[in-house]
Chain A
Amino acid sequence: MRGVRHGLQAASRRGSLAVKELTQPTLMIDGKTVLIEGERNLLELVRKAEIDLPTFCYHSELSVYGACRLCLVQVDGRGIMGACSTPPEPGLKISTTTPEIREIRRIAVELLLANHDQQCPTCARSANCQLQMLAQRLGIRKVRFKAVHAPVPIDDSSPSLIRDPNKCVLCGDCVRMCSEIQGIGAIDFAHRGHDVCVTPAFNKLLGDVECVNCGQCASVCPTGALTPKPEVDEVWALLADPTQTVVVQIAPAVRVGLGECFGLKPGEITTGQIAAALRRLGFDQVYDTSFAADLTVIEEGTEFLKRKTEGGKLPMFTSCCPGWVKYAEQYFPELLPNLSTCRSPQAMFGSLIKAMAPEQLKVERKNVKVVAIMPCTAKKFEARRPELGVDGDPDVDHVLTTQELAHMIQSAGLIFNSLETESFDMPFGFYTGAGVIFGNSGGVMEAVLRFAGEKLKGSKLDRIDFQEVRGESGLREASVTVNGTELKLAIVHGLRNARVVAEQVRAGKCDYDVIEVMACPGGCIGGAGQPVTTNRNARALRTKGLYEADKMQQLHKSQDNVVVTECYTKFLGDIGGEKAHHLLHTTFQSRHRILDEVLPLMQAHGSRKTKVSVCLGTNCYLKGSQEVLNTLLYHVQATGLENQIDVRAAFCMEECECGPNAIVNGEHVHQCVAANVIEILENSIESEDKREK
C-alpha cells in the first residue's frame, strides 16, 4: 500500500496523473492534485501541499473558530469560504490565491492594524509577531483605514504574565486554550461588536482570578497581547551588584529549547553552550536543576513507598508543577492531602543552596541570590509563594524563562552558536539522566520508577528505561510490576485531563498509585517560557532531545547521584527526616472561592468581628434556615451589634442531613434554631470582650 501511495504522490508531483485513474480520493489545490488522507479540513490539505496559508485563529489542537477570515480559499462552483472549517471532499477545485482573495486578506490585516497599538519596535513580540509578519508578507505599506484604537491599560497584576489588550487581535486562541485544553476558562470574550475584548470576569485583573499562571495562553497568542512577565532587568542589577553571589540553575527543558532562539533545531542539546553563556553573563555559580530533580526523586520516591507500605493517602499526585498545584488548590482542595508534600526541583534547589551557602559558598544567606532559568511562567508565581522562603527572603529570587535568557545573551552580544561548551559548576551541577528527563511528560514518573522500582526489588533492576510511561497522549495509563507489586500509574498533561483524573479520584473510582500531572501540553518542554515557534513538531523534537540527553549521561538513576547522597549524609540527615522535611517539603492551601459563594448581608466595620454564615441551600431552607437567618438579622440590629457581627448567607455547606446549618466563627452548628445561634454569638462576643480586658 505504501508503495502505491508513494507512486501516486510522485505521479501527482509530475502532474501527469489523470484523476479518473486514482482509487484514492483527491482534490485539486492551485492546479495540483492532492490526496485526501484523513485531513480534517481544507487548511490541513493546503498545508500538506506546502502552501503556507496564513491564519490567526486556527490552531490544530483547538476547536475551529473561523474569525480571522485569512484562510479564505475559492472553491469552484461554491464560492469563497474559510479553509479551516470546510471539510475535504473529493473532486473539489480550490484556489488559494485569487486577486479577490488577496484583496480580502490585505483588507483584513489592514483592519486589524487600524485597531492595534502599532508601537512595534518596543513590543515584546516584535521579532516574531504574526501580525507584523503577515503585514510584511502581504506587502502592506499603508493602512487605508482610520485608527480606531482607544488605549486600554495594561494588566501586569500577575507575577507570570503581562496582558496587553492593545495588542489583541481577538483571535480567541487564548480563550480556547484556557477553556478547552486547561479546562479553566479564566479569560473569555466579553461585550459585543467593536467593544469585544478578552478579559477575566468582571474586568478583574489576571492576578486576582483563577488563572494558574501556566501561560499557555501566551504560547498560542500570535501577537504581544499575552507575554511572560520579564525579570531580566532585576537580574542584570543583581549581576552588577558586587556584594551578591548570584547562583543560577537551569531546568532540563531549557537545554533542548534555547537553541531555537539562535536558529538551531528544536531538541538540539545546548547544555554546554548555556553554561558558557551564563558564566559570560556574570553568574557566579552555574548549576543544574536536574541535580535537584534527582533530590526530588529520592524524597518523593521515598514518600510514595512509605504511603504504599503503610497505608498512606493514595493515589499520590506529583507536585512539581506549580500550575497544577494552584489548580488543585482551587478546584480540588479535598485532594490536597494526596499531593506529594515535596517541593519542586526549583524550590528544593533554592532552599538547599541558601541553607548550605554559608558552608558551601562561604557566603551569608542574605548575600546569595538564586536565579532559575525555566521553560515555565508558573514558576515565577511559585517562587513568590510565601512558604518557599525563610523570614521573608525567598529561596528563589528570580525566575527567567528560556526566552528571557535568550534576550540576555543577545543583549550581551554573545554569539551563542560559537560559544565553546563548558560544564556546570560542582557540586550542584552534577546530575543523572533521571533528573534530566523531568522536563518530559512521563519523565518524572519514569525517574521515580527507576528509584522506587529498585527499592521495591531490593536490588538493581534489569532495565533503566520505562517506555510504558512515555508517550504523547494527554491522558495515559501504565502498569509496572516489580517483585510482585503492581504499580498502577497515570500520566497526564493539560489540566482538563487532570480534571478528569482528579474527579475520578475524588469519587473514589480509580486505584492509581501515582499520578503525574503537568499543566503544559507535552510537559515542561512545552512550557510557555519556551521559544515561540510555529513548528508543529517542536514539542516532539524537544521531548526526543531530553531522552537523548538522558542517554548521554553516565548515570541514569537518582539514587546513584553521589552528590545527592553526600548532601544527605553531610547535611540533610535522613531521607524524609526532620531537616529534609523542613527544607525540602512544603504545604498547600485551599484557594476554593468560598468567599464568592457567600452573600454578605451585614458587614461589621469594627476591628473584632464575629462571622456567622447561615446556609440557604434547599435542604436547610426546607428545614427553616431562612427564618433562622431573618431572626438573627433583626436581633443583631435590635441589639445594636451591627458593627461586631458579619452575617452572611451561604449556599450549601454540604452537611444536608444535619441542617439547618450555620457556621459561627468557624464552628459548625447543626440543626440550629435562631436561639442557638444567638446564644453562641453572644458567648463568643463575651469571651472576646473578656480577652480584650
Chain B
Amino acid sequence: MATAHVAVDRAGKFRKVCCILERYDYRPSGLIPILQAVQHEYQYLPEEVLTFVATSLDLPPARVFGVATFYAHFALEQKGKHVIRICDGTACHVKQSLPILSAIHEMLGTSEKQRTTVDALFTVETVACLGACGLAPVLVIDEQVYGSMTPERATALVDDIKMQENTGDSQAAGATVNGEAHVN
C-alpha cells in the first residue's frame, strides 16, 4: 500500500521524465541519452516508464526494450537496498550452499525469478566463487563476507538487518555477526 509520500515522489519522477523528453525535443534519435537521464532519476528503468517513453517518442515499445537491453549500463530491474550474494562455486556448493539459498528465499519470499523483495529491501543472487573457499559456505551481504554459514545463521543475519531497517537504524544494519565466522 503506497503512502501518499511515495506516490507524490512517483508523480514527481514521472514529471521529470516529461522534462527529460522535452529537453530532447521528443527526438527518437535521442533515445539513449534520454534513457540515461531517466535511469539517473530512477536508478533503473521501470517497465511502465520505458513504455511511456516509447509512446512519447512514437517508437514501438519492442524497439525501446531492444535498446535498453543492448547496452550494459541500463538496468531493468531494481535491486534491493541490501544485496545478498550466496556463493555457489564448487567448494561452497559441496558444503551445502543451496539449502542456505532456499532458506533465505523462503524467509524473504523471493525466488530465482523474483530476486528482489516486494519492499525492495533485499536482492538475493548467487555468484560463482568468491575465492574464499576455506570458509565455505560463504555469503556476502553488502560487500561484507560471512563464512561458515548455515541456513539458521544466514536467516538470523538477514533478520538482524530487517530489524535495524525497521527501527531506522540503518548504520548498525548487518553489523551483528557470529564472531569467528565473520571475515572481512
Interface set of A (CB-CB < 8 Å, partner B): 179, 184-192, 199-202, 209-210, 593, 596-597, 599-603, 616-618, 621, 626, 629-630, 633-634, 636-638, 642, 647, 649, 651
Task: Scan B56-70; emit 1 where CB is below 8 A from any A CB, else 0.
Answer: 100111111110011
- Inter-subunit contact B11/A202 (CB<8 Å): no
Contact of A596 among B48, B62, B71, B72 (CB under 8 A): B48
Which secondary structure dominates where chain A touches chain B? mixed
- Inter-subunit contact B70/A192 (CB<8 Å): yes
A191 to B62, CA, bound (A): 11
27 contacts between A and B (CB under 8 A): A186-B62, A190-B62, A190-B69, A190-B70, A192-B70, A201-B50, A201-B51, A201-B61, A593-B55, A596-B48, A596-B61, A599-B10, A599-B48, A599-B52, A601-B2, A601-B11, A602-B2, A602-B7, A616-B11, A616-B18, A621-B15, A626-B11, A626-B15, A630-B11, A637-B3, A649-B14, A651-B52
- Inter-subunit contact B60/A184 (CB<8 Å): yes
A325 to B92, CA, bound (A): 58
What is the distance, in angstroms, from A661's C-beta to the closest C-beta of chain B? 15
B contacts with A, residue count (CB < 8 A): 33
Interface set of B (CB-CB < 8 Å, partner A): 1-4, 7-8, 10-12, 14-15, 18, 22, 47-48, 50-52, 54-56, 59-66, 69-72
Name the B residues within 8 Å of A630 (CB-CB): 8, 11
Q: Considering only CB atoms, which chain B residue lies closest to A642 in the complex? A: B1
Name the A residues within 8 Å of B55 (CB-CB): 593, 596-597
- Inter-subunit contact B66/A188 (CB<8 Å): yes
A551 to B71, CA, bound (A): 58
Q: Which of B1, B7, B71 has the most CB of A within 10 A?
A: B7
- Inter-subunit contact B66/A189 (CB<8 Å): yes
A199 to B51, CA, bound (A): 15
Name the B residues within 8 Å of A636 (CB-CB): 4
Contact of A651 among B54, B56, B62, B66 (CB under 8 A): B56
Contact of A192 among B48, B64, B69 (CB under 8 A): B69
- Inter-subunit contact B11/A629 (CB<8 Å): yes
- Inter-subunit contact A634/B62 (CB<8 Å): no
- Inter-subunit contact B7/A191 (CB<8 Å): no
- Inter-subunit contact A179/B60 (CB<8 Å): yes
Name the A residues within 8 Å of B22 (CB-CB): 618
A60 to B80, CA, bound (A): 49
- Inter-subunit contact B65/A202 (CB<8 Å): yes
Contact of B70 among A191, A616, A629 (CB under 8 A): A191
A179 to B61, CA, bound (A): 12
A602 to B9, CA, bound (A): 12
Known: A179-B60, A596-B55. A601 touches B66 (CB 8 A): no
- Inter-subunit contact B70/A599 (CB<8 Å): no
A629 to B3, CA, bound (A): 14
9 nearest CB pairs, A to B? A185-B60, A201-B61, A637-B4, A188-B62, A601-B7, A201-B65, A633-B4, A188-B66, A201-B62
- Inter-subunit contact A649/B3 (CB<8 Å): no
Contacts A188-B63, A599-B10 known; 19 new A-B pairs at CB < 8 A: A188-B65, A189-B66, A189-B70, A201-B60, A201-B61, A201-B62, A201-B65, A202-B47, A202-B50, A202-B61, A602-B2, A618-B18, A630-B11, A633-B11, A634-B8, A636-B4, A637-B4, A649-B11, A651-B52
Q: Considering only CB atoms, which chain A residue lies closest to B61 in the complex? A: A201
A144 to B72, CA, bound (A): 32
A188 to B65, CA, bound (A): 8
Q: Considering only CB atoms, which chain B residue lies closest to A601 in the complex? A: B7
What is the distance, in angstroms, from B114's C-beta to the closest C-beta of chain A? 14
A600 to B69, CA, bound (A): 24
Contact of B14 among A184, A188, A200, A599 (CB under 8 A): A599
